[in-house]
Structure 1
């Protein structure tokens, strides 16, 4: 019988960029965690950081492995009574390893995900019904000591305006903000996560999706252009950006395709898509940039 720890242990032993394609959001509403971790895994620095915070348990190789020890950041009060991010060690034991992976062997992502559940006392993962406290804790990850986060609010007062009936919305990013996002996305010392608006004129009020025209690589690795639906209130990893547009990755592992007229097709397209800044400004607001250059374990 194959050792259930082998896959994650091979990831820990690797010196390469993880590019952890197994970081796929399942039934738990933690897109922010998945997007943040994929952003880390897509760079050499971030991959090393992820590996450095997971250790074999027990550490003695002569003893049989029964899990991993994981360092995570959790919100709490320090010794001075200041509410901040506290480092905590959590043991993810054998009894938990299949809780998130849907039967697959655990990966670094599922180990981290499980560690946050355990740290918040929410260990029953069978139905994905994590408490709001657990889900809220995922939002603290970018403020960990290795992930100094800054916020780029790309929407500005001079945006174009679209009107339809009684609805008015602004779109178009400020040039300075666009340049900051491009510089961040092209740097190996940064990771960039962006969250869509929870609602606005462009999102359908029933499906909570908005249509954009995007390009992606199809199954034969040819570039294809089509309409794709972006999900409201959802986090994406920004993998690249330039003057033409930006490339994002959906932690669901795919994107909902769109028929034309929109929202009439249930097919999916690949997880990584590229689209214009104009379309991006309709669905995205603030971008969070994590600076990995000053990390110290």
Structure 2
């Protein structure tokens, strides 16, 4: 029996992805030049100055959109290449198991029908693996069409990740592609002691605090698992300390749901900022360990620009968590259109998932930012208290500041509560911004109206029940 798969596609996908990332870096430099030229003439006033600034902002926006598309497209191609690599590994493993089973059956003089059964089962498994590769290929092609690679599209594919050059773009200024993953810090003895306590359940960890790496989709997903005791325990159950390796062993899952053990001996210096140790000191926590493990699993350089659904699968091993989005259908043969509305059934799905303690993450890529990014009648947790960490769903009260707040474009938030009028979210930046762009002085928890949620959050990823 010959088990074949299109491995040559992987060798073609990676160089194309690299070329797109190179193109994004070139455009990034150009965008930085546009910003610099605008800032270089602060005293220039008048109609011509206004026209210049307006044109340069439009150019910056277009460049940001192209950068976002290139980075998102590269990430999709790399993810597809990873699927191919995992499928190849699965087929090789299947080949070895089948070979051993057939030899054993022949040596034992098993009936021909039994030998045929082994071959039939193996063929079925191989077909299943190839089917997943085909599905991944179709999803990748659809995603590349959606992000408009090669065109000036501002709409992402539902991936929330990283800004292009520190202003605007996906991730709203939280670094750029490759930033942050190069700098790593070894765990100290104090770190190891604290992390082992968090892994064994004798200590808790602080909420996520994103810094320069554009992995909001992954940190928001980790935070979503941390909302329930079952989710916290699940994360703990998949991290252990190995004395032999002097490393934390994190169990993640590949595209086919197979567990993979990742050895973690350090953390991203510019990644999740971990726990507040007092006195202005911060140290890595269990979320930092997971972030580093996921980075190693992906290859470090492509942590930015991912999808919560992929992060959920890697953490849980569950394939295909449901996704609800604001696209409706209309027109000829039910053509899809974006109406920025969730149906009653979709609202019920989100509500039930939050009620059940399942991980829920919302992304703003594809949201309606045509007239700005302000959420009115919103309330941020400006009067944060110790109890809010244990009960973030009840953190917002009359002591907190209500008003206008920014919703970051191309970003991911954890959904932590929902009622008939409001949706409560947590920003993985560990703060929100006022309408004027200044830090609101909160802890990242913000409550917005359902109307603003529909407007800005085009996609909601819902994880399965905690295994």
Q: What is the TM-score with the length of structure 1 in the denominator?
A: 0.74
What does the per-residue CA deviation read over 1:63-87, in whole Å, with 9 as the maximum and x for residues that have no partner?
xx83211111234xxxxxxxx3442
- 1:181 to partner: Cα distance: 1.2
Match of 2:455 among 277, 282, 292: 282
Q: Are 1:9 and 2:189 an aligned pair? A: no
What does the per-residue CA deviation read over 1:114-134, in whole Å, with 9 as the maximum and x for residues that have no partner?
112223343xxxxxxxx2377
- Kindly indicate whether structure 1 or structure 2 has the higher relative contact order, using CA contacts under 8 Å at least 6 residues apart: 1
Distance in 2 (alpha carbons) for counterparts of 1:203 and 1:234: 18
Distance in 2 (alpha carbons) for counterparts of 1:22 and 1:66: 26
Deviation above 6 Å: which 4+ runs of structure 1? none
Alpha carbon RMSD of aligned pairs, Å?
2.9
User: Any residues of structure 2 matched to 1:257-276 within 5 Å, and which?
Assistant: 257-258=434-435, 264-270=436-442, 271-276=444-449
- 1:212 to partner: Cα distance: 3.7
Correspondence for 1:165: none
Contact 2:404 2:434 in 1 (8 A): yes
Contact 1:254 1:268 in 2 (8 A): yes
Contact 1:152 1:287 in 2 (8 A): yes
Contact 2:217 2:306 in 1 (8 A): no
User: Rg bigger for which structure?
Assistant: 2
Q: Rate the CA distance shift 1:265–1:107 in 2: closer, same or farther, 3 A.
A: closer
Secondary structure in 2 matching 1:213: strand
Correspondence for 1:255: 432
Contact 1:116 1:134 in 2 (8 A): no
Q: Are 1:227 and 2:404 an aligned pair? A: yes
- 1:216 to partner: Cα distance: 2.8
More strand, by proportion: 1
Q: What is the TM-score with the length of structure 2 in the denominator?
A: 0.48
Contact 1:73 1:141 in 2 (8 A): no
Q: Are 1:32 and 2:210 an aligned pair? A: no
Q: Rate the CA distance shift 1:247–1:101 in 2: closer, same or farther, 3 A.
A: closer
Secondary structure in 2 matching 1:4: helix
Q: Are 1:180 and 2:349 an aligned pair? A: yes
Correspondence for 1:44: 229
Correspondence for 1:109: 287
Could you tell me which runs of 5 or more consecutive residues in structure 2 were left unpaired when the two chains were aligned: 1-187, 274-280, 331-336, 386-398
Q: Are 1:141 and 2:314 an aligned pair? A: no
Distance in 1 (alpha carbons) for counterparts of 2:447 and 2:339: 22
Q: Rate the CA distance shift 1:21–1:157 in 2: closer, same or farther, 3 A.
A: farther
Contact 1:5 1:106 in 2 (8 A): no
Correspondence for 2:63: none
Distance in 1 (alpha carbons) for counterparts of 2:308 and 2:348: 28
Q: Rate the CA distance shift 1:108–1:52 in 2: closer, same or farther, 3 A.
A: same
Contact 1:257 1:269 in 2 (8 A): no
Q: Are 1:191 and 2:359 an aligned pair? A: yes
Distance in 2 (alpha carbons) for counterparts of 1:192 and 1:97: 25
Secondary structure in 1 matching 2:290: helix
Distance in 1 (alpha carbons) for counterparts of 2:371 and 2:309: 23
Correspondence for 1:88: 260
Q: Are 1:214 and 2:384 an aligned pair? A: no
Correspondence for 1:163: none
Correspondence for 2:298: 120
Correspondence for 1:57: 242
Q: Rate the CA distance shift 1:220–1:87 in 2: closer, same or farther, 3 A.
A: closer
Secondary structure in 1 matching 2:410: coil
- Aligned pair count reads 250
- 1:147 to partner: Cα distance: 4.5
Distance in 2 (alpha carbons) for counterparts of 1:197 and 1:98: 25
What does the per-residue CA deviation read over 1:119-167, in whole Å, with 9 as the maximum and x for residues that have no partner?
3343xxxxxxxx2377548752212445451112244359xxxxxxxxx
- 1:45 to partner: Cα distance: 1.0
Contact 1:4 1:106 in 2 (8 A): yes
Distance in 2 (alpha carbons) for counterparts of 1:220 and 1:143: 32
